[in-house]
Structure 1
Amino acid sequence: MSTEMQIMELISTAGDSKAKAFEALKKVKEKDFEGARALINEARKIDIEAHRIQTELITQDLNEDVESPAMSLLMVHAQDHYMTSQLAKDLIEALIEVFDK
């Protein structure tokens, strides 16, 4: 798979994870904490795939036997999506615990 396709896959996967996290936040508003936790767990499973892709890209960059992929705005965009999805998931997970008390 080309580097560009890997980057697009990272963007898509991170977006799916963030969407699940925000669905979980809607469940919090409805006081459906079990539903919220289930959605956060789905987001975590999606994150495993996003992390795998990110690790693959980093490994390629560190491999001295091949030319490193060029840093691009698309790569920066993918990293931004990934880190934002992680932050959203972590914050919403904390909100579930706060509001379920």
Structure 2
Amino acid sequence: MSDEEQLVIMQLIMDGGNAKSSSFEAIQAAKKGAFDQAQAKLKEADSFLAKAHNAQTDLLTTEAQGQHTQVSLLMVHGQDHVMNAITFRDLAGELVSVYQRLDNNSAK
């Protein structure tokens, strides 16, 4: 595995982890009724996921150009981080919506 491939994989791990953390922070903010902050954290998570997606696209482009990327445990771990972060981000968006709906209903 080349140094460049290792850097891309580490970016997947970091961006996936950061996206998950931001998503969790969004849930915590919504739980406290800080919905603007929750939305900002969801946008932040989306930004990290976009970076991870770009890193994945780089790997796919290299593969499509005929330069095979060795699939290692580290690569699988990086992809797992990204997929987990995507799922967590989707769930966080739903939970923020539920908290906001509950807050709106209790205000009536």
Measured in 1, the distance between the counterparts of 2:61 and 2:72 equals: 17
Aligned residue identity for 1:14: G
- Secondary structure (helix, strand or coil) at the match of 1:100 reads helix
Aligned residue identity for 1:44: D
Q: CA RMSD in A?
A: 1.1
Partner of 1:34: 36
Larger-gyration structure (1/2): 2
1:34-65 Cα shifts (integer Å, max 9, x gaps): 1111110111112111110011111112222x
**Alignment partner of 1:3 is 2:5:** yes
Question: Aligned runs of 1:1-101 on 2, under 5 Å?
Answer: 2-64=4-66, 66=67, 68-101=68-101
TM-score, normalised to structure 2, is 0.86
Consecutive unaligned residues in structure 1, runs of 5 or more: none
TM-score, normalised to structure 1, is 0.91
Question: Percent identity among equivalent residues?
Answer: 35
Structure 1 residue runs of 4+, over 3 Å off? Answer: none
1:9-46 Cα shifts (integer Å, max 9, x gaps): 11111111111111111112212111111110111112
Measured in 2, the distance between the counterparts of 1:100 and 1:29 equals: 9
Would you say how many aligned residue pairs link Structure 1 and Structure 2?
99
Measured in 1, the distance between the counterparts of 2:99 and 2:26 equals: 12
